[in-house]
Structure 1
Amino acid sequence: MGEDIEKRIGWLRDEIRRHDRLYYVLNAPEVSDREYDRLFAELKKLESSHPELVTPDSPTQRVSGEPLEGFSTVAHAVAMLSIDNTYDADDLRAFDERVAKGLGAQDYDYVVELKIDGLAISLRYEQGVLVRAATRGDGTKGDDVSTNIRTIKAIPLRLENNGHMPDILEVRGEVYMPKAAFAALNRERIEQGEAEFANPRNAAAGSLKLLDARITATRKLSFFAYSVGQVSRRPAEGHYEVLQKLREMGLPVNPNIKKAADIEEVIRICLSWESKKTELDYQIDGMVIKVNRLDQHDILGSTHRAPRWCISYKFAAEQAETVVESIDVQVGKTGTLTPVANLKPVLLAGTTVKRATLHNFDEVRRLDVRQGDAVVIEKAGEIIPQVVKVLPAKRPSSAKPFAIPTE
């Protein structure tokens, strides 16, 4: 009987991991949420009855029961460098000229990826098991956020052994909050009288730095892997191929990654996403361009802060000009006051905007925003409309300073 229970527990763990991979990595779920929850509930019940059979990598062990007192610091085995960035196609051509000069007569190609707007994370796997997760921090050391990272179902606690899995594998990637989860979280915070998060990146970062993993588990964070750090052996010789191997191991890799033969193809791919980015269910703030061959990464090297084989192309925030018709003050459940500008309707990033947050009264004072003002608005994280600038030259003579409530 005991052997049968142990086999059943093993089967349930493998089946739940398989369904996690189908859902988060392959985007091809086979079962309903209800059936998945039934499998999970059975595993949890069996482990509760047989605690001696519980293992750290079991799907039931993602959420810790007790809050942490604080985060310890972790040194990165391989530094997590920054990436140089540009907003200009000619700068990409200049980057290509530097790459060509650095590689001499060698042929090379590029990999173009979406720049996910989240929080950079390093995941350390040993013998295929997740043993530690750390934030980027200052690039040489970061915070150990393993307890919170384990709550993210998109991140496997144990990798699939595809024959290319190194004994030691550090996976670098981005933790992010999908747009729908971000909108739902902010609605909840407004109802509870708490301040909204300004954008999905801030929400993801704040969620990972919570001391109580049980709260983090409710935040519906997700993850994309985009490179490796320390490895006992390279899974492949090209960056594009490494990402395919990571996907085979069960790690989520963004499906929109493309190879490009030359810099002009790179530029075409980047420009095509300027208009398509709003169709995604997660936030991106640009593209990342990398030389493909890993041995050429070694040749090109890096400066003290950024690799020479990589650059990001940033999208400029889309803005629109409109007029403030009035300013309201919203009252949260706990009495928190939030000023909101009612606007002359204007089209911005694919939707008609009629209201924009002013965040707080300090922001109202800083902007000196008034009824009747012409203002520039943009969407924070392409989601929340906000006033970023007042145009004083267009201010009507009748405009009066906003009377900030004292009670």
Structure 2
Amino acid sequence: MQDQFDVDTLTREEAERRLVELAGILDRANKAYHQADAPEISDAEYDRLKRENAEIEARFPELKRRDSPSDQIGAAPAEGFQKIAHSVPMLSLGNAFDDTEVAEFDRSVRKYLGLSENEELDYTAEPKIDGLSLSLRYEAGRLVHAATRGDGSVGENVTANACTISDIPQTLTDAPDVLEVRGEVYMSHEDFAALNARQAADGGKTFANPRNAAAGSLRQLDPSVTAGRPLRFFAYAWGSVSQSLADTQIGAIGKLAALGFRTNPLTRLCTGPEDMLEHYRDIEARRATLGYDIDGVVYKVNDLSLQARLGFRSTTPRWAIAHKFPAELAWTRLEAIDIQVGRTGALSPVARLTPVTVGGVVVSNATLHNEDYIAGRDSNGQPIRDGKDIRVGDWVQVYRAGDVIPKVADVDLSKRPETAVPYAFPHICPECGSEAIREEGDAVRRCTGGLICPAQAVEKLKHFVSRAAFDIEGLGAKQVEQFFEDRWIREPADIFLLEERYGSGLQQLKNREGWGAKSAENLFSAIRQRRTIAFHRLLFGLGIRHLGEVAAKDLARAFGTWDGLADAADRAATEPAAIQGPSRETLAASPAWSEFLAIDGVGVTLTQSLVTALAQAHERESIDRLVALLTIEAPAARATGSPVAGKTVVFTGSLEKMTRAEAKARAEALGAKVAGSVSAKTDLVIAGPGAGSKAKKAEELGIEMIDEDSWLELIGDA
């Protein structure tokens, strides 16, 4: 669960970092939802994060990433199915969350079309089915293929499976020669309950909700499995057609029904926003009695010629929008607050509730976000819930923003027990006893135990053996979990002692399930090979927060050896005030901290994280045990013979003939050291338009400063 960031107060650096986080979160969410049929976050949380991403991009358009979630639809098709390219993309819809956004949708449509408020403009309104999108292509009245949405451009070929669904006709009469019918595969509540009961009785997998069950059933490699699942299909749209179905959306839906497709009986023609909202409220009131899951109402401009004029944005049509339902609510008693420690060390409070049914699901646990949320304030210290804190024993309002993570929204103070006391958020990790700190600007308190914290250890070990880190052949996530459970591996150093500790290891390992003599010997050989490791791979493999692959390489080049980096971190840690988060200027004045901050790409946040991790006794001892078993390869020697070899250079201002990343890479390839700040050790400053404080400091120190053209002339073809 991620906390809401105040976009208006983000600095450029914070915005860039947050966009990186959001790209990762939303990419994982897309794959979990569209490929694995196992959502990790709720629909509402996903929508909120996408809106946050769009708001940051709107405020900082120059930071928009090439892999921006704003431009993504679904996820790439999963392996195991043939791929089908959609002749007309299957786009997603924009979202509205309240009445004002629906009115704004109507205003934007009218403005685009040049229509006044008084001119007639009809819309259709229909339930938004919570299922799996499917496209059916018919040629000469015969079904030729069926494809999932996939990433919007390419989907999975599930034709054999679709043919087992009784709602999908395999032949059509009086249909256009080419007709792509689009709709939603879903499962009714009654059928879902019966399926789960059968699965449980047979010892098989049960499903979390009807959407997952429908998606998992349709995407079976064996069509006979799909045939045994009670899937249904609603048609609501079309892709390629050789002949128009009708002049209007409502007419085209009627044509699909006449061809034999099931269409939703709650689809209705509306004469404007007020009529649309009235139908929305009617559907919302009937939601619990429909017998299948919906998560909103979709509005579409009715006139198809106007739809054509309105066209599309990059990922959404201008002529349609999904009006999402608000989270479902219920009141219950808060019995306890437990702390769970995540793989990154985050201490996450969980509400243990008197079980209550919320929207048809029994809820007994809910997230409380973080310590500020419990205390009744936001990350900036401003009151939320009118400043009401949350206490054990309280009568609390629970809401579900989808099917995954319920949340505590409010407190009824009139029912608060006299014995209830304010909750004291722990500053010590409940799993390992290490200090739990909260970095400046972070909404979450985190355990500093790192590799010695059992809650973090397995995930950190998986990271340690990952491809960009130690990349040990034969030791993947599954093997790490097995060895950790058996207490063969508890920290990275144990990996390199496996063979020694277990009588050459071969005899014990080869007798384990899934292992043989050859695979065991291959594993030990791979481990032996990784006793010699590049410095940057070691750094990245430690799993220190904020320390990614690029920064690991920057640090490795700057310090050259593990001892040099560790010594600098130890000296920085002797200044206790530093870790509490002073300004960059204050820290840069410290010789130890300036060694880190002078490295281009290394900032205060990363340095604090690194220094803090290495200052924790248990974590440091674990790392020292590892380092003692390794031969660490220093970074390749810097080039010599170029005009800038051995010099420390700083780039500032805008570069017009190459990107900053290109300039840095070129300078380093020529043997220069690229620093992020100007100091007495700087040899050369390359200043482009907009150069500010760095240029001023260079002048004060008398450091040579040139423009981009002079820089290019200096390095020439070197």
Indicate the TM-score class for this superposition, using the shorter chain for normalisation: 0.5 to 0.7
Amino acid at match of 1:133: A
Structure 1 CA distance, aligned partners of 2:179 and 2:300?
20
**Which residue of 1 is the match for residue 177 of structure 2?**
167
**Which residue of 2 is the match for residue 284 of structure 1?**
294
Alignment CA distance shift 1:188-1:396 (3 Å): farther
Amino acid at match of 1:323: R
- Given the alignment of the two structures, is residue 104 of structure 1 paired with residue 114 of structure 2, yes or no? yes
Amino acid at match of 1:266: M
Give structure 2 stretches of 5+ with no counterpart.
Answer: 1-78, 337-350, 372-391, 432-484, 486-718
- What per-residue deviation string (whole Å, max 9, x for no partner) do you get for residues 7-46 of structure 1? xxxxxxxxxxxxxxxxxxxxxxxxxxxxxxxxxxxxxxxx
Structure 2 CA distance, aligned partners of 1:202 and 1:217?
16
Matches of residues 5-404 of structure 1 in structure 2 within 5 Å? 70-105=80-115, 107-161=120-174, 165-323=175-333, 344=354, 346=356, 348-349=358-359, 355-356=362-363, 377=398, 387-388=406-407
State the 1:205 CA deviation: 1.0
Percent same amino acid among aligned pairs? 44
> Does structure 2 retain, via aligned residues, the 8 Å contact 1:79–1:139?
yes
Aligned residues: 312
> Does structure 2 retain, via aligned residues, the 8 Å contact 1:186–1:197?
yes
State the 1:389 CA deviation: 5.1
Q: Helix, strand or coil for the counterpart of 1:98?
A: helix
State the 1:290 CA deviation: 0.2
State the 1:390 CA deviation: 9.8
> Does structure 1 retain, via aligned residues, the 8 Å contact 2:356–2:363?
no
Alignment CA distance shift 1:389-1:102 (3 Å): same
Alignment CA distance shift 1:357-1:128 (3 Å): farther
State the 1:153 CA deviation: 0.4
Q: Helix, strand or coil for the counterpart of 1:114?
A: strand
State the 1:200 CA deviation: 1.3
Give structure 1 stretches of 5+ with no counterpart.
Answer: 1-68, 327-340
State the 1:375 CA deviation: 6.7
Alignment CA distance shift 1:397-1:288 (3 Å): closer
> Does structure 1 retain, via aligned residues, the 8 Å contact 2:332–2:354?
yes
Structure 2 CA distance, aligned partners of 1:189 and 1:234?
44
Structure 1 CA distance, aligned partners of 2:237 and 2:294?
17
Alignment CA distance shift 1:268-1:282 (3 Å): same
TM-score, normalised with respect to structure 2: 0.39
**Which residue of 2 is the match for residue 38 of structure 1?**
none
Amino acid at match of 1:321: W
State the 1:179 CA deviation: 0.8
> Does structure 2 retain, via aligned residues, the 8 Å contact 1:115–1:286?
yes
- What per-residue deviation string (whole Å, max 9, x for no partner) do you get for residues 331-363 of structure 1? xxxxxxxxxx995364644x7x7x53669xxx9
State the 1:281 CA deviation: 1.0
Q: Helix, strand or coil for the counterpart of 2:93?
A: coil
Alignment CA distance shift 1:320-1:195 (3 Å): farther
> Does structure 1 retain, via aligned residues, the 8 Å contact 2:326–2:401?
no
State the 1:92 CA deviation: 0.7
Higher RCO, 1 or 2 (CA under 8 Å, sep at least 6)? 1
Structure 2 CA distance, aligned partners of 1:194 and 1:269?
41
State the 1:391 CA deviation: 9.0
Structure 2 CA distance, aligned partners of 1:194 and 1:320?
32
Structure 1 CA distance, aligned partners of 2:272 and 2:255?
24
> Does structure 2 retain, via aligned residues, the 8 Å contact 1:199–1:380?
no
Q: Helix, strand or coil for the counterpart of 1:220?
A: coil
Alignment CA distance shift 1:170-1:397 (3 Å): closer
State the 1:376 CA deviation: 5.9
Amino acid at match of 1:167: D
State the 1:70 CA deviation: 2.6
State the 1:276 CA deviation: 1.2
> Does structure 1 retain, via aligned residues, the 8 Å contact 2:188–2:292?
yes
* Greater Rg over alpha carbons, structure: 2
- What per-residue deviation string (whole Å, max 9, x for no partner) do you get for residues 32-88 of structure 1? xxxxxxxxxxxxxxxxxxxxxxxxxxxxxxxxxxxxx93101100001111000111
Amino acid at match of 2:146: A
State the 1:204 CA deviation: 1.0
TM-score, normalised with respect to structure 1: 0.67
Alignment CA distance shift 1:378-1:90 (3 Å): closer
